[in-house]
Each structure stands twice: as C-alpha cells, then as structure tokens.
Amino acid sequence: MLQPLEDFKPADLPERTHGFWKMAGPGAILVGLSIGAGEIIIWPRIVAQHGGTMIWAAVVGVFLQLWINLEVGRWTIATGETVYTGYSRVWRGFAFAFILLTILGWLAPGWAMASGFALRSLLSEVVPGAQETFAGGIFASATFWTGVTFAGVAAFLFGPKVAYQGVEKTIEVLVLIITVGLIAVAIKVGNAKTWEQMGEGLANVATFKISEGMDRKAFFIALVFAGAGGTANLFYTFYLRDKKIGMGERVPEILNPLRGRQEAIPATGFKYEDNEANASRFRAWWRYVKQDQALFFFGLNTLTILLFIFGALAVLYPGRNVPAEGTLIRDQAEILGGIWGNTGRVLFLLIGMATLYSTQLALVDGVARSLSDIVYTNFTFARKRALGWWYMVIAGSWMAVGTVLVAVLEHLGKGGNLGVLFCAAYMGGFAMALYVPLTLYMNLRYLPKSARPGPFNIGMMVLATLVYGGFAVSCIVWELQ
C-alpha cells in the first residue's frame, strides 16, 4: 500500500557557515563513481578501434551530465528531499518506475567482476608464488574474486557509524591513486604524435565527427558512460544530504544499524518562504554546488577520462590492439609492461583495480540508498523499520545476488564476459531520457521562485533531454528493425 506523501514543511534555509573545502566530498564521490567502466574499458576500446576521432564525445558526455547534476543538487539544497521523492510528487507511479530502472541498470556486477580480475592479476605480479596458486581451483574463479571485491565493499559500508563517511574517505584516496598513476603513465608513454591526435580528436567537436564504422548503439553507450551515467547521477542527492548541504542540514544522516540506535529520518522535506534572507542563503549554497560540480565532476572527471584515452592512444592504437572485454585491463597492463617494464604493468593493474573498486563501492552505496529511499518514502510497510535498516538489507542482498549471478555466468562459461557493463549503459540511457526532463519540470513547478533554474540552465537541460531522448527513441527503432 502506498504511503501518502506529506506536503513540504515550512522552514528557513540554514545559513552557510563553512568554506568550500570544509564541505568538499559529494563531488569527489561522484568522480569515483564516474571513472569506472566508461573510462577504463569502454572508451579505451573505442580509441583502440577508431583512434582519437571520437574524443570530443567523451568531453561532451561529461559536460551534458554536469548540468543534470546541478539540477539534482538544486532540488536537494532547496528542499532537503531526494530527487526520488520529488519524482513521486509529480506521479506516484514513478516510484515503481525507478525501482525497476535501478534494478535493470545496476544488478549485474560487472565492476566487481572486473575489479576482481584486476586484483588477481595485480597479486600475481607482486606476491611471490601467487601465479601458480591462482592458476587453478577456487583462486582462478571469477566468483571468488567478485566475492573478495564485495567483501571489501561491505567493510567500508558497514564498518563506520555513518555510512557516508566510509564511502567518502575511501573514494577520495582511490581517486588520488588513480589520478597520480594516470599522470605518471601519460608522462612515460606519451609523445608529440599522441598529443597531436588528442588535439585533433577534441577539435572534432566543431563538426561532431563520428568515425566510420562506429555503431550508433555503441556511440550511445559511450556517451552515457562518459561521466556517471544512468541513475548514478541521481546519487548526488544523497551525498549532499549526508554532507549537510543546504536544507540537508535539517535531515539526519543514515546511521549504521550495526553500530547503534537509529534516528528517525523524515521521508519528505521543507520549503522556505521566498524572502530576501532565504534567497540570499540559497545563492550561497548554490555557489557551493556549482563549484563542487565544476571542479570535481567536470574538471577532474574530464582530466581522468582524457588520461585514460591518452594512454590508449599511445599504447593500444599504434598496434591496433583491441583487447577482449574481459581481459582489457590485463592486456593493457601487459602492453604497457612491454614499454615500461614490470613497473608499468603493476601500476596499470593498480589503477584498474582502484578505478573499478571505487565504482563498485559507490554503486552499491548509491543503489542501496536509492531503493531504500524509494521504498521508505512510498510504502506503508517500510515505515516499520528505520531507513538505515533498509539500506543495510538492500546493500547486503545486492552484493549476495551479484555474487550468485557471477557464479551462474561462470557456470555457463561466460565468467569473463563484461558485456553486462555495456547493457548497464544501454539501460542507463533510457533512464536519463526519462529523468532529465522530469528533474527540470519539478524544479520549475515546486521550488520557490528564487531557487528555480534560469534560462541558460533550462536550455542546457532541454538540450540534454533532446540528446538522451533522441538516442533512446532511435535505439528502440534500431532494436525493432
């Protein structure tokens, strides 16, 4: 039975009392989520096949998602609600729609499987005798290494008293490792020709040039996975709340039910009186969101995806080496090892493991937050338990089901097939075609006038709607044909 949604509670917007760096964190987590399969698997494969022709599309993909994230942030700092609650205000049926989209988009644990492969390869290089140990039996199993990855994820989700803290600190460290490692690789393998190819690929944005032989469906997938993609962009709503940004300061964070008593968390949010004092406070919080997304999501995300592409241009494209989906990280590490020796091989395996692990950690956290929030907000039976309890149960179940799915794939002889990552991006594109215009609509309809998006932001959201909506409709036509 659906739980009636309460109206917004009247409340003044809290004052912003801290500087930017004191509140930094939400954007960094989104970067850790974004530099996953798109950057290390999908885009390097495209570059290995087509060279630098399509580089412009990676930057455009991140740029479009920047505006989506800003509008997600706008809703949360103005109301303290998650965007999922906002969608339910528009139509209660969206609760069911986003449960389905979240499950279809993220259930297959491709990142955990790929991260496990990278960890196994890394240990084989640095642990004496590990290659022989991992050659057969359980240690050669994709299921085993997926379970190892999920065990590490569980430690950071269920260890700290506040779930957000473990995720934030871990991902910040992983992003630092990834960025420094990629810069080192670029310095070692790059040359003037590689830089020239990068520049030409970026300049193709003027003509939106698409390489000959580039499949349109593959292009859609690559565009979605340049950045967070799918419903992952919506996870930003939770990071802002738990960091106490804007009206999120009035909402308790999710506490670990294993570490103590749960605090009641309101399912709905607040609405401020549209006077000059509140409008001024909103502008102060809005500056933070713009800085956070410009620096971390667009700036750092663009840097890392271009560094991955640069490495592929220098290492893979010259020999037209297009690695298989399941062995791409290991194959790139081997090729880099031929150029840089064992140092290069080990470094790239470390980068690959850190990249995919950070993505899987953020995904389990974000999916558990999304589903628990939707269930807790919309269904009467869910109020019998605390939100933190739902978060723990869903996160644990998600990892257990994911491990079982890998075992099934492995039994069917597809344990190294990472096509599930491509399917996730495909489904994610359809989700974006739905929620991009929906987010713009609810921000214009429900927010106080001083918090509503201006003409330029509206224009960018309309553009994003046309891009994702157009590709989604095209994909349906292609599939029917």
Which of 98-107, 211-220, 455-464 comes out lowest in average pLDDT? 211-220
Check pLDDT > 90 for residue 481. Answer: no
Say how many CA atoms lie within 13 Å of 334 toward its Cβ.
Answer: 11
> What kind and span of H or E run contains 271?
strand 270-271
Q: Which amino acid is at 386?
A: A
Q: What is the pLDDT of residues 168-202, one digit of tens each?
A: 888 999 999 999 999 999 999 888 899 999 999 99
Would the pTM of this model clear 0.75, i.e. be above it? yes
Complete domains list, the chain, with CATH: 9-480 (1.20.1740)
Q: How would DSSP label each residue in 17-52?
A: -S-HHHH--HHHHHHHHHSSHIIIIIHHHHHHHHTT
Q: What is the pLDDT of residues 294-337, one digit of tens each?
A: 999 999 999 999 998 998 898 888 877 776 665 667 777 888 88
Q: Span 124-138, mean pLDDT? A: 73
Q: How would DSSP label each residue in 363-399?
A: HHHHHHHHHHHHHHHHBGGGGGS-HHHHHHHHHHHHH
Check pLDDT > 90 for residue 419. Answer: no
Structure tokens at 62: 């991140």
Strand partners, 255: 162
Q: What is the pLDDT of residues 16-49, one digit of tens each?
A: 999 999 998 899 888 888 877 567 777 888 888 8
Cα(100)–Cα(430) distance, integer angstroms: 12
pLDDT of residue 38: 63
Check pLDDT > 70 for residue 459. Answer: yes
Of how many residues is the chain composed?
A: 481
Cα(54)–Cα(46) distance, integer angstroms: 8
Structure tokens at 387: 């939100």
Coil, strand, or helix at residue 9?
Answer: strand
Check pLDDT > 80 for residue 479. Answer: no
pLDDT of residue 415: 56
Coil, strand, or helix at residue 145?
Answer: helix
